[in-house]
Amino acid sequence: MLFFILIFMQFLYIECFYSSKMSKILSLKVVRMAVDHEVDVAVIGGGIAGSTISFLLQERHNCKVALIDPSVNIEGHWYPNYGEWRDEWHALSDLLQLPELKECTTTEWEITDCFFGGSNDIPMDERTTLPRPYVRVDRIKMQSLLRSKFFKANGISIPSKLSSTRINTNIFDKNLAHTENGSILTLDNGDVVKCKVLIDTSGLESKLVCKEDPMYARANRKSIPVGFQIAYGFIAHVDSLGPYDKDAMTLFDYKTNHLEGEQLIDATNRPTFMYAMPLGKLPDGKYRVFFEETSLVGKDKRRLSFEECKDRAYKRLKFHNINILGVEEEEYCYIPMGGELPDLTQRIIAFGGAANMVHPSTGYHACRMLAAASDLAKSIGNGIKENSKPDLISINAYKSLWHEENRWQRSFQVFGGDYLMQQNVNKLRGFFTAFFALEQPVWSGFLAGWPNLPGNEYHDSWYKRLKFALNLFLKMPNDVRISMVLYSILHTIEYGPFTLVRSLVPSFVVGDGPGNPIYDAPPVIIGDESAKQEARSMMKQFKPSATPKGRIDLNKVTENSETIPAPFN
């Protein structure tokens, strides 16, 4: 009898209200009682990185995994519209032995278009067609694929949050403590999770992960500041496609002929490009397109606002006589790029955005993360099997993610991102014209920039990067060459020689690793708060005027959507 009473109490615990409607009628709330979990691995964050690593550890390495995220049980909670190169996507499907991954796309294009005209005597409308297919990831299908495999292998999901902030390496303000044999987490719902290994996949601005000191990274006191990719995206129903080919994905439209006067000057100095994915025709013959006006990377005054991106997108479409008939959804793209890597000696294993795996000069992340996931899972899985100490498991995990060669390759990408951030639109057009004139496997490899991805074999050692840099330099217009040389000098004066030198010369010349670590508790990242605040307030104002099936009668739209996704901390 006591047993039944306890079960009953667990589900019917009188405290408050159950749901918003019922709450008006009843003064009862069903509250679940806190549960204790003991697992091998706890994963904080159920985005693309957390979902991938938890599935691999649970299904392939027999670990007992708890995946923790407030939205973990909600289908389709991933926010970004992922666009990737098809050859990378297919290579990952093979690497991960996950054939279903190939089916996780909504749209595929056989060719990819770019517009770099308007500078260097290239006509504004000139189109550069890259014979390389592109895909738009079906984020709902992919999430459900990973989740169903995870659950089938008996993985545990906990729909809650870890509210904890790092105050020093391995020390947190509350709710998380490391012990010799593992970590203890207290979640917002009261559950306590004891785990041997703790993986942080909470995204690009984790509050848990400690970043390494720049002195350790490149023997210089000054951090290279984080840049931000800011983009305003939307799925629109439109009556025509203007310059965009219905069968091509447009990766870069750097044309500026839709602007004049002050706006043209601003767009020249603080460039944005249009990224356009035609998603097919609607039953009424109109087109469904994902448009995204994007600032590749910027900081301080060169960091665009979402309103500016939106304004430029609408002006661009109007200039091309593309009429917007309805908007299904918006995307506020905020990607911190560059910055310091995680401190490789800490207990928490950062992965995905939290481990700075975003490409510092392009913003691509998903394929890099997927390419790293198998090795990381193997390293952690072996550590658990061998009953290694948690600190040793973490050290080996970081060795698999950010081994020395990979660090030098990233340094080169950080330099590239920082260079691009400073250039006006003419230099960017010249730079990209030269870049895409390289052989396709070579430029593909730079955009991927991670071991196991196609083309990376052209960038994975100092002499290959040097060869790439020299070839690119030879193809550049003169003004771009001069800007590159000047920038290299300024960068070296400001941040020391090691970003570039360590990535382009052999280790016996400059030493084979970073200096000694110096721990002075670098600050927890807060990112660009004004950009995030702007995105939150614009999201609140958005009212969809179309659905994938057709347009909505605006007179019937009275309320804002209640479920506003929150992709920012």
Q: Which residue has the tokens 């006509």?
A: 123
User: Does an H or E element contain 333, and which?
Assistant: strand 324-337
Closest distance to ligand FAD from the beta carbon of 294 (Å)? 10
- Looking at the Cβ atoms of 210 and 354, the one nearer to ligand FAD is 354
* Interatomic CA distance for residues 459 and 457, integer angstroms: 6
- Looking at the Cβ atoms of 309 and 354, the one nearer to ligand FAD is 354
Enumerate residues 6+ apart whose C-beta is below 8 A from 14: 28, 29
User: Does an H or E element contain 442, and which?
Assistant: helix 440-448
Amino acid at 518: I
Choose one: 260-268, 351-359, 386-394, 420-428; the region binding ligand FAD (CB under 6 A). Answer: 351-359
C-beta of residue 189 within 8 angstroms of C-beta of residue 217: no
* Interatomic CA distance for residues 412 and 458, integer angstroms: 13
Closest distance to ligand FAD from the beta carbon of 352 (Å)? 3
Length of the chain: 569
What region does 137 belong to: left with phi over 0, alpha with psi -120 to 50, or beta? beta
- Looking at the Cβ atoms of 432 and 487, the one nearer to ligand FAD is 432
- Looking at the Cβ atoms of 9 and 564, the one nearer to ligand FAD is 564
Amino acid at 129: T
Q: Which residue of 183, 201, 394, 406 would you call a contact of ligand FAD, by CB under 6 A?
A: 201
Q: Which residue has the tokens 């957390």?
A: 50
- Looking at the Cβ atoms of 353 and 383, the one nearer to ligand FAD is 353
C-beta of residue 12 within 8 angstroms of C-beta of residue 38: no
* Interatomic CA distance for residues 362 and 19, integer angstroms: 44
* Interatomic CA distance for residues 224 and 500, integer angstroms: 13
Q: Which residue has the tokens 């900081």?
A: 299
Amino acid at 415: F
Tokens of 458: 């052209």
- Looking at the Cβ atoms of 67 and 469, the one nearer to ligand FAD is 67
Residue 448 within binding range of ligand FAD, rule CB under 6 A: no
Closest distance to ligand FAD from the beta carbon of 235 (Å)? 13
Choose one: 195-203, 214-222, 319-327, 432-440; the region binding ligand FAD (CB under 6 A). Answer: 195-203
- Residue 354 is given by DSSP the state G
Residue 544 within binding range of ligand FAD, rule CB under 6 A: no
Residue 370 within binding range of ligand FAD, rule CB under 6 A: no
- Looking at the Cβ atoms of 358 and 504, the one nearer to ligand FAD is 358
* Interatomic CA distance for residues 408 and 436, integer angstroms: 23
Q: Which residue has the tokens 């979640």?
A: 187
- Residue 479 is given by DSSP the state H
- Looking at the Cβ atoms of 334 and 462, the one nearer to ligand FAD is 334
* Interatomic CA distance for residues 64 and 385, integer angstroms: 11
**Residues numbered 204-263 forming contacts with ligand FAD, rule: CB under 6 A:** 204
Closest distance to ligand FAD from the beta carbon of 486 (Å)? 30
Q: Which residue of 342, 352, 383, 417 would you call a contact of ligand FAD, by CB under 6 A?
A: 352
Residue 356 within binding range of ligand FAD, rule CB under 6 A: no
Closest distance to ligand FAD from the beta carbon of 493 (Å)? 31
Q: Which residue of 342, 353, 449, 514 would you call a contact of ligand FAD, by CB under 6 A?
A: 353
* Interatomic CA distance for residues 452 and 456, integer angstroms: 7
Closest distance to ligand FAD from the beta carbon of 127 (Å)? 22
Task: Using alpha carbons, select from 407, 87, 492 the residue that is nearest to residue 216.
Answer: 407
Q: Which residue of 69, 340, 343, 534 would you call a contact of ligand FAD, by CB under 6 A?
A: 69
Closest distance to ligand FAD from the beta carbon of 68 (Å)? 5
Choose one: 350-358, 397-405, 516-524, 542-550; the region binding ligand FAD (CB under 6 A). Answer: 350-358
- Looking at the Cβ atoms of 191 and 343, the one nearer to ligand FAD is 191
Q: Which residue of 252, 364, 408, 436 would you call a contact of ligand FAD, by CB under 6 A?
A: 364
- Looking at the Cβ atoms of 69 and 212, the one nearer to ligand FAD is 69
C-beta of residue 324 within 8 angstroms of C-beta of residue 314: yes
Q: Which residue has the tokens 């870890």?
A: 162
**Residues numbered 282-341 forming contacts with ligand FAD, rule: CB under 6 A:** 331, 333-335
Around Cβ 107, how many Cβ atoms within 10 Å?
17
C-beta of residue 187 within 8 angstroms of C-beta of residue 160: yes
Residue 162 within binding range of ligand FAD, rule CB under 6 A: yes
Choose one: 6-14, 23-31, 90-98, 349-357; the region binding ligand FAD (CB under 6 A). Answer: 349-357
User: Does an H or E element contain 214, and which?
Assistant: helix 214-218
- Looking at the Cβ atoms of 28 and 538, the one nearer to ligand FAD is 538
419 phi, psi to nearest 5 deg: -65, -50
C-beta of residue 310 within 8 angstroms of C-beta of residue 210: no
- Looking at the Cβ atoms of 59 and 191, the one nearer to ligand FAD is 191
Q: Which residue of 61, 66, 83, 115 would you call a contact of ligand FAD, by CB under 6 A?
A: 83
- Looking at the Cβ atoms of 53 and 393, the one nearer to ligand FAD is 53
Around Cβ 466, how many Cβ atoms within 10 Å?
15
Select the residue whose beta carbon is closest to ligand FAD and give its number: 47
Residue 68 within binding range of ligand FAD, rule CB under 6 A: yes
- Residue 58 is given by DSSP the state I
* Interatomic CA distance for residues 41 and 38, integer angstroms: 9
Between 28 and 67, how does the x/- string for binding to ligand FAD read (CB under 6 A)?
----------------xxxxxxx-----------------
* Residues that contact ligand FAD, how many (by CB under 6 A): 34
* Footprint on this chain of ligand FAD (rule: CB under 6 A): 44-50, 68-71, 79-80, 82-83, 161-162, 201-204, 331, 333-335, 352-354, 358, 363-366, 567
